[in-house]
Amino acid sequence: MKTPLLYILSLLIFLSQPFLPHAVRCHPEDKKVLLKIKEDFNNPYHLASWNPDTDCCYWYVVECDRKTNRINNFHLFAANVSGQIPDAIGELPYLESLTFHKITNLTGTIPPAITRLTNLKMLTISWTNISGPIPSFLSQLKNLTFLDLSFNNFSGSIPPSLAELRNLGGFRLDRNKLTGSIPESWGDLNPNLQYLYLSHNLLSGTVPRSWGDLNFTSIELQRNRLEGDISFLFGKNKTIQIADFSRNMLQFDLSNVEFPDSLTSLDLNHNRITGSLPEGLTKLNSLYLNVSYNRLCGRIPVGGRLQELDYTSYFHNRCLCGAPLPDCK
């Protein structure tokens, strides 16, 4: 049985609860801005938790920094929200991560107000109907380490200024309608850039030769109209794992290209690649390879995983032969 003292004590604590000072974390300035954003989006159901009488640090979609209690994370995902990105977003100066993902009814262009978010490290605007050119002013967001503008309706050419983002580790502009060539200035990208996706656009011209000095982990340029050579991206001392250049108009001799041990996936299908398959491919332990629809010739080297791959990895070449294709004549 409980002692009466303990009983009285717990009763006292219970009664005092409503009178304890309740620390509100939310900064009033942030709350004002968020309520403005909610209004600009026409008070959508998705933002129903944004009740002006409650602490904005506990609202859906946003997060507050543990120390400053300022809004540092805004992550709007799969919301039935329509209209443009409100200018008010630029008035959340502590934002480090901003995401608009899978919002089909988000339209218009990226507002210049976004450049006020100088602390932004991650910016994702993907699977939306945002269109227009990719704004050159994004280069002002110097703290960005990750920029993802994939799966939108962007058109026009790639802004040269984005090469000024010297902290980017990952960069996605894939699945848009970008035209023109890779800008001259992009020859000098952040040397620590690891993930580059420009696939599914209408890009033409050649890949900058100086990218041979970079150390990509994953590069995807498939489904564009790129020409020329890309073999300089490989070499024994690289760390590249995934390379997809399929469905372009690349033209180079594959015979003497050296591939690093790190390579796990190489897709070169539908290009104009000549020469033969290098012997070194037999040294790679886990490899997805597709060199179909090119102009390759000669015997498929025997060894490694090369004979285990499906014949469709090799078919439609000028005169490749040997397992898994029919025997050489």
Ligand X SMILES: *[C@@H]1O[C@H](CO)[C@@H](O)[C@H](O)[C@H]1NC(C)=O
What's the CA angle centered on 245, arms 320 and 326, to 5 degrees? 15
CA distances to 140, 153, 248 from 88, in Å = 18, 23, 41
- Smallest distance, Å, CB 194 to ligand X? 9
Does 237 contact ligand X by CB under 6 A?
Answer: yes
CA distances to 86, 140, 215, 314 from 112, in Å = 10, 10, 32, 48
Q: Contacts with ligand X in 61-80 (CB under 6 A)? A: 80
Does 313 contact ligand X by CB under 6 A?
Answer: yes
Residue with token string 């009814």? 105
Does 222 contact ligand X by CB under 6 A?
Answer: no
Residue placing its CB nearer to ligand X in the complex, 84 or 251: 84
What's the CA angle centered on 180, arms 138 and 178, to 5 degrees? 55
Q: Which of 32, 310, 318, 319 binds ligand X (CB under 6 A)?
A: 310
Residue placing its CB nearer to ligand X in the complex, 34 or 103: 103
- Smallest distance, Å, CB 228 to ligand X? 20
Does 256 contact ligand X by CB under 6 A?
Answer: no
Q: Which two tokens stand for residue 9?
A: 């004590």
Does 49 contact ligand X by CB under 6 A?
Answer: no
Q: Which of 54, 60, 68, 142 binds ligand X (CB under 6 A)?
A: 142
Q: Which two tokens stand for residue 326?
A: 């029919």
Does 153 contact ligand X by CB under 6 A?
Answer: yes
- Smallest distance, Å, CB 8 to ligand X? 51
* 220 burial level (CB within 10 Å; 0-12, 13-18, 19+): buried
Sort strands 242-244 and 265-267 into parallel, antiparallel or unpaired.
parallel
Interface positions with ligand X (CB under 6 A): 80, 82, 104-105, 107, 118-119, 127-129, 131, 142-143, 151, 153, 155, 177, 215, 235, 237-239, 269, 290, 292-293, 310, 312-313
